[in-house]
Structure 1
């Protein structure tokens, strides 16, 4: 009698390990996929930020004109990008912005000078669009397609 009960109980439990394994596997795989995706995203974002910072520092070197500063900043930022091995080519831009009272910026028509009210800064922006192509081809929920690295440095009032 005891043996019959044990066999009936075993038959009812058949397949329960497979169901438990599938639930745990789906959860574990989702967590692993999220870690890999966001790890890649953070590494790419860190590389873009470093390129923008190097470009902004390069703009502080003495140049004879703003056009020379801008081209130097963009060239240095672009030179840092091949280390990232990105599947897309990021856009690099450098602009001169006047810092207005209250923290706002005037980047369209900056008036730079030596007084505090006419201080300017260089803003280097590195934008990578199409980042999802760098990630594994699975459902990409909550993953941005554009990453931006931006850095700014205050310019000397006497510099061009």
Structure 2
């Protein structure tokens, strides 16, 4: 009995359909996994920089003879915490500034109008060398971690 034109096609005419379906599904899942891994690497590095900045800000809370020594200690701790795993040497800046006033370099003290805060910023570039090739377009090349803490005026 011969097959007519209106009847369902045989299994021989469907041989390549499974390969095409597998290819489409594989590309979708591979892209999803690739994006998750790339974002995971980026967020790990970003949170590590943030943690280094927070450790530096905490180090500035420890007693030092001068405010400059506190800034140096904060930079040293933040640099130590971020060294070794970033793609380039991170730039660490720690500043102690008054909350109210024209800026940094003023006298900090115990009164409310003389209160100061320490701001630690850790910046690294070259993130595109760490990330897998295709995700470089979606993620930034520079990552910044920043932390600030209010200094206790009684301990100054």
The TM-score, its normalising length taken from structure 2, stands at 0.85
| Cα shift at 1:37 | 0.6
Which is worse superposed, 120-129 or 2-11? 2-11
For 1:41 and 1:31, how far apart are their aligned partners in 2? 16
SS in 2 for 1:143: coil
- How large is the Cα RMSD of the aligned pairs? 2.4
Name the residue aligned to 1:29: 30
2: distance between equivalents of 1:68 and 1:97?
A: 14
Q: Deviations over 1:92-148 (max 9, x none)?
A: 110112223xxxx85445453322122110000111111111111224232121111
**Alpha-carbon separation, structure 2, partners of 1:106 and 1:49:** 27
CA contact (8 A) 2:94 2:119 kept: yes
CA shift in 2, pair 1:139/1:51, >3 Å: closer
Give yes or no for contact 1:110–1:120 (8 Å, CA) kept in 2.
Answer: no
Partner Cα separation in structure 1 for residue 33 and residue 58 of structure 2: 37
* 1:98 aligned residue: 98
1:119 pairs with 2:115: yes
Alpha-carbon separation, structure 2, partners of 1:146 and 1:27: 29
Unaligned stretches of 5+ residues in structure 1: none
TM-score, normalized by length of structure 1? 0.83
Q: What is the total number of aligned residue pairs between the two structures?
A: 155
Taking the aligned partners of 1:89 and 1:149, their CA distance within structure 2 comes to 14
Map 1:61-140; keep pairs closer than 5 Å.
Answer: 61-82=62-83, 85-100=85-100, 107-108=103-104, 110-140=106-136
